[in-house]
Amino acid sequence: MTDPEKASVTENHPSQPEGILVTFDTPIDSENPKDWKTSKKWVVTGVLSATGLTRIVVSTIMAPALPTISHELQMNSVEAAMALSVYLLATAFGPLFIAPLSESYGRKPVLHATNVWFLVWNIVCGFAGNKATLIAARLLAGFGASAIYALAGGVLGDVWAPEQRGKSIGIYLLIPLLGAAIGPIVGGFITEYSTWRWMFWSTSIVQFVMVVASMLLFHETHAPTILRGRASRFRLQTGNSQYYTEADMLTSGHSVYKKFFDSTTRPARLLLFHPIVQIQACLSGFSYGVLYLVLSTFSELWVTQYGESVSISGLHYLSLCLGEVAGAVVGGRFIDSVYKTRKRRADGVHTPEFRVPVMIPSAILVPLGIFMYGWAAQERVHWAVVDMGVFIYSFGGQIGGSALQAYVIDSYPDHTSSASAASQFLRSLAAFGFPLFAPTMYESLGYGWANSTVAFIAIAIGIPAPFLIQIYGARLRAKAQSSY
């Protein structure tokens, strides 16, 4: 309600404070993010997407330059891998703190604050004079970058209806997914023709532009925060202190400490006590770990196995990028189509399990692509066969990942950011850990059997998962503790 005179007075109820409950107008309220014009929704989604691009570029841009950086800063192979992966370690822990903040104070201030934080520490990386400074600055930059993982699911859930989530997730991911290829390609050319420090300075320039753009274009999307602001405005306008929101009602009688504790521990509680979040975290964690295993070793494959230059080797990351982009486009439409069909057959009743069938093709394509990539590289088959294997792997992984993310958004509409943060914890730990053992694994087993090992694990995990979620998902969600 935009006019305090139109605010409805609630009936007295044991669980409700006496006063006037502030809600959004029905059927349309211009301040309700789900009622925004489609163009405004896409602007907010686009800002978030572009912000994600710089974060992913920075996470991968160092890969081709690791030998150069390790030589200049006197780093051994483990320390060099750490400099790349520590950024991802920060994205494991950052969302655990950032997601609750966005659900308490809103998405907008958290996005702006972390944007500036990331910018500062990314600049420091470019001026690092020793390995300790570089690793520490990468860690702190990663903490700021992690905000996108905490905010993305929440913002998309805030503004898009369930029938549109597949498409919105697909479009949102398009630009960030380019970062998986842009990072190594740009990094390869900068390393060959300039100093590696320009990797950080150039991305900082882009990030500065994004800071300004987000401040101008991003609007608050968190409905409880918007309603709290409306209630506060009504209290000031009328002098009546009885205006309250549903969020106020849920925490009525709680001390400041209790509210803070419940908020900050929510991602950890979801990960520890909610089976659906645990399953999603394990599936996406393994998938993300494999992705960064490929990202961290792909350039070296082309240099050592095929004798290509560092700059040219980076161009092969395009196959990974194109697979993910194609998966995002096809997967988004496929997710929405399946969802609408199953909802229609269920006479309008809908459940998160409507997303599950889309995960099945992914469970087949991912190991197929990994097998193809590994054995083609082992036998030094034409480069196009290797790239095709990587394309199939990333295409399948993106379809399954989008469906899984939509499933979590549907399952936790009130606390999507915290649920996303909980799953991101395992995702980032896997992305941090997998590249550390990748060189030893490929050296010991070769590309064929090393990739086969990964593919066999993908089959063992990925194929049963959709069927188990479809059968037991609703029961597991019903038994889970309240996310409040």
- Cα–Cα distance, 102 to 394 (Å, whole number): 31
**Section 356-384 average pLDDT:** 91
451, 185 contact by CB (below 8 A): no
Q: Please name the residues in contact with 41: beta carbons below 8 A apart, sequence gap of 6 or more.
A: 33, 159, 160, 168
- Cα–Cα distance, 114 to 144 (Å, whole number): 5
Res. 308 pLDDT band, cuts 50 70 90: confident
- Cα–Cα distance, 84 to 140 (Å, whole number): 13
Condensed to tens digits (0 to 9), the pLDDT of residues 403-435 reads 888 888 888 877 788 888 888 888 888 887 887
Condensed to tens digits (0 to 9), the pLDDT of residues 147-187 reads 888 888 889 888 988 888 788 887 887 777 777 667 877 88
178/49: higher pLDDT: 49
Whether the per-residue pLDDT at 370 is higher than 50: the answer is: yes
- Kindly give the interhelix angle for 359-378 and 383-411, rounded to the nearest 10 degrees: 150
Q: Does the CA dihedral 454-459-464-470 come out positive or negative?
A: positive
In the numeric block, which tokens belong to residue 27?
Answer: 């059927």
Q: How many angstroms separate the Cα of 415 from the Cα of each of 46, 120, 155, 261, 455?
A: 22, 29, 11, 15, 33
- Cα–Cα distance, 264 to 330 (Å, whole number): 36
Whether the per-residue pLDDT at 444 is higher than 60: the answer is: yes
- 3-class state of residue 354 by DSSP: helix
Whether the per-residue pLDDT at 14 is higher than 70: the answer is: no
pLDDT of residue 481: 62
Half-sphere exposure of 384 (CA within 13 A, CB side): 0
The amino acid occupying position 17 is: P
Whether the per-residue pLDDT at 484 is higher than 70: the answer is: no
- Range of weakest confidence among 89-98, 266-275, 302-311, 380-389: 302-311
- Cα–Cα distance, 400 to 361 (Å, whole number): 8
Select, from the ranges 199-213, 287-301, 418-432, the one with the highest average predicted confidence (pLDDT). 199-213
Condensed to tens digits (0 to 9), the pLDDT of residues 83-131 reads 887 887 888 888 888 888 888 889 999 999 999 999 999 999 999 989 8
Omega of the bond leading into 27 within 30 degrees of 0 (cis) = yes
